[in-house]
Structure 1
Amino acid sequence: MRATPPFRADHVGSLLRPPELLAARAAHAEGRLDPDGLRAVEDAAIRDVVAAQERIGLQSVTDGEFRRASWHMDFIYRLGGVVQTDQRIEVRMRSDRGETAFTAAGLAVAERVHLAEPIFAEDFRFLAAQASSALPKLTIPSPSMVHYRGGTAAIDRSVYPEIDGFWDDLSAAYRDELHALYDLGCRYLQLDDTSLAYLNDPAQRAAFAARGEDADAAHLRYIRQINAAIADRPADMAVTTHMCRGNYRSSWAAEGGYDFVAEALFSELAVDGFFCEFDDERSGGFAPLRFVPPGTMVVLGLVTTKNGRLEDPDVLKRRIDDAAKHVPLEQLCLSPQCGFSSTVEGNVLTADEQFAKLRLIVEVARDVWG
C-alpha cells in the first residue's frame, strides 16, 4: 500500500448529503435557519461522514463537499474579479433514463483576477480537525473551469486587452490559494476538471468552437495554465486532477475516450496523479494511458457512482490487469469514477449503496496491492 497520495483505494470527494443536511439547507434558504444554525448542522454531518470514511479504511477523507451547492461554482465565484451574472447557462445531460438539463448562473470576469482571501480555509481547518487516521483531502475546480464555463466572451476586454494577462492572473491566484492551503496544513489537493474530458467529445468540441474558441488547442492552454499554477508547490504537497464527463443526478454531458487529449495531457500535465473515469464504454479504453510517464499515478475510476449496483470484484481485478498492459501496476490505484454528489441533489443511489462501493474499493485494493 502507498503512504503518500493518491492512495491505492481513494475516492473523488463528494458524498451524498444526509437528509438532515438537506432539510437544514432548505430551512436556511427559506429564512427559517440562520447561518450559524446551518453551519452547526453541516459540522455534525461532516464529523459523521469523516468517521465513516475512516471506518471503511480509506487513507484520505473529505468533507463530502457538504458545505457546497456545486463542486465548482462555490469556489469560482469567490475568486476576486469573477462575478455571478443573470445569464442562465444550460448544460444538456444524458442518462439511462433519458435527457435532462443542468441550469446554472453565468459568470463574468469584471476585474483583474486575484485571490482576495484563501477560499475554503475554514472548511479545511474543520475537516483537518476531524481526521484522525486518514489524510484530509481538499477538492477545488481547476483553473480551466473558470474559462471553460464562460469562455473568452465572459472576460471584460477593457480589463484584459490581451488575453494572456487573464491567464497569468488566473494561474497566480491559484498559486496563492495553493500556498495558503499548504500553510493551513493541506498536503493533498485535488483539481477537478471536466473540460479536459469534455474536449475528447467531437460534439463538445464543435459547441466550444461555435462560441469562438480554439477547440483543437484549448487543452494545451489549459495544461500550461495548470502547470503554471502548481509549478512551485512544496515537495510534500500532492496535487492530483480528476477528469470526468459530467455528473448531475446520475447523468453526464460528454462521451468518448481520452484519445484526443491523451498525449499532451498525460505526458505534460505535471500532477502527481490522474483520477480517470473508466466505469463504462462511455469513457473509452485504457490505451491512452500509454502516455503516462514513469512515477505518475493513475487512479482508475472503475466503480460507477451513477447507480447503486455493486460491481463484481473479480471484474474489477480483470480490468485493473487490462489497464496494467498500458501503465505499470505499481502506478495504478482504484476509485469511483466520480463523486457521488457533485451537486447538492446527489446521484440516484442510497447512502448504504454509496458506502458499500467505497468498502468494495478498499477490499479490492488490498487484494490487488496487498
Structure 2
Amino acid sequence: MSIPTEPIGSIPRPPDLLAALTSGGDVTAVQQRAVADTIRRFEEIGSPVVTDGEQSKPSFATYPVAGLASLAPDGVVIPFADGHMRQLPHLTAGPFRYVRRATEYLRAAQATASKPVKQAVIAPSALSLMYPADGIDGYPREQFLADLVDEAEADIRGCLDAGAHVVQLDFTEGRLSLKLDPSGSVLDDFVALNNRVLERFSDQERARIGVHTCPGGDMDSTHSLDIDYTQLLPKLFELRAGNFYVQLSSEPDQERVLSVIAAHLPPDARVFVGVTDPLDPRIETADEVRDRVLSAARHLPADRLGTCDDCGFSPFADDTSTSRDTAFAKVRARVEGTALAAAALGF
C-alpha cells in the first residue's frame, strides 16, 4: 500500500500549440503532439496516474459546448482578484446538448499512455450558469436542468465505460457561489444539482468518481480565495462522490482546514490534499511536500489520504502565466514528496 497521488488536469500548452491556436488553422496534429508529449513527461517523472493535460480543450469549463450554435458570448462574468475576467456563454435556445464529450479526450490519451488515465469533466453546476436569468421562451429552466443532468451523466458514464482510472468533476464554482450569494442558497442548489447526477451511479462507480474544488486558478490569480474555505467544505462533502480533491497548500491556515475536512469527510471517501501551488512560481521541494502530507496525516486517516496539485496549471488554453517546465517540476516534487511521506508512515 502507498499514498496515491494524482494530477488535477491542465498543463500549460507548448509554444507551437499556442501559436497554432492563434493562427486560425487546423490544430489537430499539433494538439496530438502536445498530448503525447504531456503524457510522456508525466510518465518519465514517475506519475502513477496521468492526464492529457487538457491540451485539446479550449477551457476546462466550456469544452462540451464549444461550437454549439445556440450560444451567445455575453453570459456570466467571473472576476478575478487581479482585475481580469472570464465570461461564460449563455444559452439562447433549447434543447441543451453536449457537442463534444470527454471520452474523445480520454481515448486519445489512452492511445499513447502506459499508465492509468484520469479524465476531468466539468460539473453540471458550472454549466447551469449558462441558462439566462430571464429564461428562454419555450424552454423552461427545469427542462434545461433535466437535459443538463442527462448530458452530464452520459459524459461521466462514457468515461467510466471507456476505462478511465477516475473521473473528476471540476467544481471551482462552489467557493465562488459563496461570494456571489453569501446566504449559501446558490451553493445548496449546486450541490443538489450535482447530486442529481451522482446519485445515478452505483457505489462501485462512485468509487471512481471525484470532485475537485479550488478558489479558481487563472493567470496566477483566483476568484474566491478571500472566501472562508470552512464555509464550503461541509457542503462539499455532501456530494455523493468517492474522492475529493481539495486545494490546501495555498491556504493560510491549513491546520484549521484539515480539522474541518476530518470532521466532515464521509466514511467511505478518500481525500486528496493539494501539496503544490500552481499559482506560486517557486517550485516546492520533495521534503516540503513530504512534510505537508505528514501534517495532513495527523488529522486524516492515512489509508484514506492522497495528494494532488491545488488546481490545474492552465485551465484556459491562453493562460501562459506558468511555464510548462515549472509545472512538471512541481509535479515531480509532488510525486517524490508523496513517496517520501509514504515511507515515513510505514507504507
Q: Partners of 1:78 and 1:241 in 2: how far apart?
A: 26
Matches within 5 A, 1:1-370: 1=1, 8-27=4-23, 29=24, 33=25, 35=26, 38-77=27-66, 83-87=70-74, 89-94=76-81, 99-108=82-91, 110-115=93-98, 119-132=101-114, 134-147=115-128, 149-150=129-130, 153=133, 155-156=135-136, 158-160=138-140, 163-200=141-178, 203-205=179-181, 215-233=183-201, 235=204, 238-255=208-225, 256-266=227-237, 268-281=238-251, 285-289=257-261, 290-370=263-343
Contact 2:65 2:100 in 1 (8 A): no
Report which of the two has the higher share of strand.
1
State the TM-score, normalized to the length of structure 1.
0.82
CA drift at 1:85: 0.6
Q: Partners of 2:294 and 2:180 in 1: how far apart?
A: 31
CA deviations 1:320-360 (Å, max 9, x no partner) are 33333432122111111111111112352322221111111
Q: Partners of 2:92 and 2:294 in 1: how far apart?
A: 46
Aligned-partner SS, 1:135:
coil
Pair 1:45–1:154, CA change in 2 (3 A): farther
State the TM-score, normalized to the length of structure 2.
0.87
CA RMSD of aligned residues (A): 2.5
Q: Partners of 1:307 and 1:258 in 2: how far apart?
A: 19
Aligned-partner SS, 1:50:
helix
CA drift at 1:225: 2.1
CA deviations 1:277-323 (Å, max 9, x no partner) are 11223686322202002231111112100132122444433333333
Please, which moves more after superposition, 82-91 or 300-309? 82-91
Contact 2:75 2:90 in 1 (8 A): no
CA deviations 1:121-153 (Å, max 9, x no partner) are 332221111111x11111111001012x34651
Q: Partners of 2:192 and 2:278 in 1: how far apart?
A: 30
Contact 1:277 1:283 in 2 (8 A): no
Contact 1:308 1:350 in 2 (8 A): no
Give structure 1 regions of 4+ aligned residues with deviation exceeding 6 angstroms. none
Aligned-partner SS, 1:16:
coil
Aligned-partner SS, 1:87:
coil
CA drift at 1:88: 5.8
Q: Partners of 1:120 and 1:291 in 2: how far apart?
A: 30
Pair 1:131–1:155, CA change in 2 (3 A): farther
Amino acid at match of 2:10: S
Pair 1:358–1:154, CA change in 2 (3 A): farther
Q: Where do 5+ consecutive residues of structure 2 fail to align?
A: none
Contact 2:103 2:155 in 1 (8 A): no
Q: Partners of 2:40 and 2:199 in 1: how far apart?
A: 34
% of aligned pairs identical?
A: 23
CA deviations 1:60-112 (Å, max 9, x no partner) are 21111111221111224467xx8321426543212xxxx23123352125213
Q: Partners of 1:232 and 1:186 in 2: how far apart?
A: 18
Q: Partners of 1:122 and 1:20 in 2: how far apart?
A: 22
Please, which moves more after superposition, 283-292 or 44-53? 283-292
Q: Where do 5+ consecutive residues of structure 1 fail to align?
A: 207-214
Aligned-partner SS, 2:224:
coil
Give the paired residue count: 337
Amino acid at match of 2:190: Y
Contact 2:274 2:308 in 1 (8 A): yes
Pair 1:352–1:227, CA change in 2 (3 A): same
Pair 1:131–1:189, CA change in 2 (3 A): same
Q: Partners of 2:223 and 2:97 in 1: how far apart?
A: 30
Contact 1:257 1:283 in 2 (8 A): no
Contact 1:15 1:339 in 2 (8 A): yes
Pair 1:291–1:18, CA change in 2 (3 A): same
Q: Partners of 1:280 and 1:258 in 2: how far apart?
A: 11
Pair 1:226–1:354, CA change in 2 (3 A): same
Aligned-partner SS, 1:311:
coil
Amino acid at match of 2:259: A
Q: Partners of 1:272 and 1:321 in 2: how far apart?
A: 22
Contact 1:223 1:265 in 2 (8 A): yes
